Structure 1
Amino acid sequence: MIPSCPKSLLNSPLINLSAADFLTPLQTQGKAVAVYRSLCSAATLPVSACSGSAVKFIMEPKLYRPPPEVRGMTSLDKEAFTQTITVPALRVPTGVLNKVVKSLKKSAIQRPGIPRVVQDKEESSDFRLVLLDPHKVSSTTSFSEAEAEALRSFSVSEELQHYELQLTYHNLKTEEVLEAVLPQGQDVTSSFSRVGHIAHMNLRDHQLPYKNLIGQVIMDKNPGVTCVVNKTNMIDSTYRNFKMEVLAGEENMVAKVKENGVNYEFDFSRVYWNPRLSTEHQRVVQLIKPGETVFDVFAGVGPFAVPAARSGAKVLANDLNPESYRWLQHNCKLNKVEKKVRSFNLDGRAFIQGPVKQELPALLKGTAGVHVVMNLPALALEFLDAFRGLLHQEPPCDENLPIVHCYCFSKDDNPETDVVKRASDSIGFPLESQCSVHFVRNVAPNKDMMCVRFKVPKEVLFSKDHDQTEPAPKRQKCEEATDST
């Protein structure tokens, strides 16, 4: 027997059903019960409560929750997410349809792949149904004053219809799918770094059993992503890359990226690239003026070197990783700056004590600025001692000493003080009064990436115990110095 239902529910403007819809012949009784249960499940009271006194019809907050059967799924079955829900709708004359939709843009349904306007259930060409968001509209009083006034001005009845809407996997958001699949109470991740066509994730241990499903969902829900990878170990501080496994999609690791107007290409599995450093790359490059010289000690594939060269600087770029070195050269050609960049495949210390040492004496005689970029946060501070006694003859003036931009990590409660102290200890000179510290980003809880900027002190750069074989030249005033060639 079909359970009774209160007239207040049957006569609700949202339901728009008659008792005949429930009191059907025996052969349709199952369908009637199903409709009844569907409607009651959308109310705040359980099904059994519908046999009692009047209830207020309020749509279920978790209306979009996928079926419970998908919980624990490790191999994606898209069909299992299909469900039918009931949503409110307004019957609108086609002559004012566009105006009404515009007026109700805050209340209309907004789901991936779901139209806001559908055919009228009576299939009348004079009317259409505008589907509403059940989380925002549960009765005629849910409309704002402006929305209600618009409906009156367009002679649209505020009587709510009900519309049975089929939701599929494609209509669900990434978070909804993953929350439905992964065990309850565990963290659900849908965040990733986008590197060209590659989505790079850092999954936690409890998410690994679902890694392939997660990868497929990320690829499905993000247009342009054709490969999803997961980092399987820590970054190799020597070559700054990490092992990864493909979770979904093609195994093409050669990414094409555009950052700050500059094009880059590289094998993401064999070099270091972090899309979160785009703003930092731009910040430092904007400090470099045309005609200045940049020594990029840990250049990677060129995110500092290439734009600096494009802005008119002379660049000497180095990286120990042979793959980074190869893609650095490739990106210089790609951006037509290969004549402005000299590339090296050396250890950072060897680069400072080799090419940097060879170029500095002539550069310090000029007026164009000299910058040294050291972006290897895990180890860069340890390379600062390479500047000790690097040169033997002091320049004609002190104002053109090289400016160092050194990156590092800090877990200290006061990261600014921490990184300055460590930089001072490494370079062998107190930098507290002659440096600035820039916060780059938070890498992990209680772990910040910082940039220490300072001029290399002449007490550090020039050796005091070097025996001069010739008399020292007369010290020139800074304004008398000439530009380097």
Structure 2
Amino acid sequence: MEPKLYRPPPEVRGMTSLDKEAFTQTITVPALRVPTGVLNKVVKSLRKATIQRPGVPRVVQDKEQSNDFRLVLLDPRRVSSPSSFSEAEAESLRSFGVSEELHYYELQLTYDNLKSEEVLEAVLPPDLDVTSAFSRVGHIAHMNLRDHQLPYKNLIGQVIMDKNPGVTCVVNKTNIIDSTYRNFRMEVLAGEEDMVAKVKENGVTYEFDFSRVYWNPRLSTEHQRVVQLVKRGDTVFDVFAGVGPFAIPAARLGANVLANDLNPESYRWLQHNCKLNKVESKVRVFNLDGRAFIRGPLKQELPALLKGTSGVHMVMNLPALALDFLDAFRGLLHQEPPCDENLPTVHCYGFSKDDNPDTDVVGRASRSLGFPLENRCSVHFVRNVAPNKDMLCVRFTLPKEVLFGKPTEEPAPKRQKCEETKNAT
């Protein structure tokens, strides 16, 4: 039968305040009358033909209210006549003594039986894009609604919360990430205004106020990729640490970590998460500008580490700005080590809108360092954050020519303003 049987009534078009009762409708679906003694076997053999709707039972009482029979409801898109059954299905029915004669059942579909996309497609104007996509951060669903969806924002929020168990708060980002501290301005569309989320990523638990720190659930694979390069006994300098998605897993693997973030809220939750995961003895936490961290604690620790044999990693995950901070390494130290074997490995992130993003980020990193990195680094594609905008990670050994070269003049502190587009989360 036509797909319109699965669409809510047309009267809901343009609704801005959710009226669940308005979605109720009755449709007619085909059914088989099955003896209760073989009911489970029949349902199993017809699993591809039975109706599959949220909250809709596949087996109901037959019209005659007989205890000896039940009706098995079928998908009207799959079965329209007895000839619709496959040869295997028809053979199963015969073996169980079930007639292929179709009965018809009046089925009431309600709001609860519809998927979120179906509700939103019914409500929003037909010529506009429909989205039910969101990022899940603990109990929070984080959406990036477009302008044409804003008149329906509270309805959309309520639908997302209704249709996703465990979601008790739906928020919408109201602007780009434009603050010094990389946190979104957001408004609550539905549910309770509780922004303290608890999430688990790669076996590690984090807690934080999502409205006041930066967290992106789409980066879990990247966090894991970099942490797996760290060995027990290594030292990790996390220049823009956030709430700890690089620092804490590295510490759990046995690394010594110095983690820094300018945002006082990130600093506070980073400390909290270190205690939560019992790695506070392995992580030293700082609340400094990234450049001050490099020219302060990192500079103090590095000379002794270069004389050792354990690896040294520097993670710089502030893709809107991190490449610009590489010049802080110019002339950072004065006395060269006896060999080049233990120079630090840098993992620096950047955005690129260039047609050749790999070449672009390597060139920008080279200019910032004052040293050519071509053929001396690798570039890892992380993700596409917006149309024609990629996030990449440049990995390289910090050249001794940079580390022990002539220091640059101390630049004015740069405001860490992250300019991402609305689709960049």
Rg bigger for which structure?
Answer: 1
Separation of aligned partners in 2, 1:425 and 1:377? 16
2:75 maps to 133
SS in 1 for 2:78: coil
Matches within 5 A, 1:26-45: none
Whose relative contact order is higher, 1 or 2, with alpha carbons under 8 Å and at least 6 apart?
Answer: 2
List per-residue Cα deviations over 1:313-335 (Å, max 9, x = no partner).
Answer: 00000000000000000000000
Equivalent of 1:76, from 18, 24, 32?
18
1:446 maps to 388
Q: Is the 8 A contact 2:183 2:214 kept in 1?
A: yes
Equivalent of 1:403, from 318, 331, 345?
345
Equivalent of 2:105, from 163, 186, 196?
163
The residue identity in structure 2 corresponding to 1:111 is: R
Matches within 5 A, 1:381-400: 381-400=323-342
Separation of aligned partners in 2, 1:145 and 1:462? 77
Q: Is the 8 A contact 1:237 1:378 kept in 2?
A: no
Q: Is the 8 A contact 2:352 2:361 kept in 1?
A: yes
Deviation at 1:61, TM superposition (A): 2.1
List per-residue Cα deviations over 1:161-212 (Å, max 9, x = no partner).
Answer: 1100000000000000000000011000100000000000000000000000
1:91 maps to 33
SS in 1 for 2:5: coil
1:253 maps to 195
Q: Which runs of 5+ in 1 are unaligned?
A: 1-58, 467-485
Deviation at 1:269, TM superposition (A): 0.1
1:364 maps to 306
Separation of aligned partners in 2, 1:283 and 1:326? 26
1:433 maps to 375
Equivalent of 1:208, from 150, 160, 166?
150
2:315 maps to 373
Equivalent of 1:418, from 347, 351, 360?
360
1:344 maps to 286
1:266 maps to 208
Separation of aligned partners in 2, 1:401 and 1:69? 68
1:316 maps to 258
Deviation at 1:426, TM superposition (A): 1.0
Structure 1 window deviating more from structure 2 (307-316 vs 229-238): it is 229-238
Q: Which runs of 5+ in 2 are unaligned?
A: 409-425
Would you say 1:457 and 2:399 are equivalent positions? yes
The residue identity in structure 2 corresponding to 1:295 is: F
2:411 maps to none
The residue identity in structure 1 corresponding to 2:113 is: N
2:177 maps to 235
Separation of aligned partners in 2, 1:159 and 1:323? 67
Deviation at 1:237, TM superposition (A): 4.9
Q: Percent identity?
A: 88
List per-residue Cα deviations over 1:421-469 (Å, max 9, x = no partner).
Answer: 1111111111011100101111111111100000110100003589xxx
Separation of aligned partners in 1, 2:101 and 2:370? 79
Separation of aligned partners in 1, 2:237 and 2:114? 49
The residue identity in structure 2 corresponding to 1:107 is: A
Deviation at 1:145, TM superposition (A): 1.6
Equivalent of 1:112, from 34, 41, 54?
54
1:121 maps to 63
Separation of aligned partners in 1, 2:99 and 2:55? 27
Equivalent of 1:224, from 125, 150, 166?
166
Separation of aligned partners in 1, 2:106 and 2:387? 46
4+ runs deviating over 2 angstroms: 463-466
Separation of aligned partners in 1, 2:404 and 2:98? 84
Cα RMSD of the aligned pairs, angstroms, is 1.0
SS in 1 for 2:79: coil
Would you say 1:151 and 2:61 are equivalent positions? no
What TM-score results when the alignment is normalised by the length of structure 2? Answer: 0.95
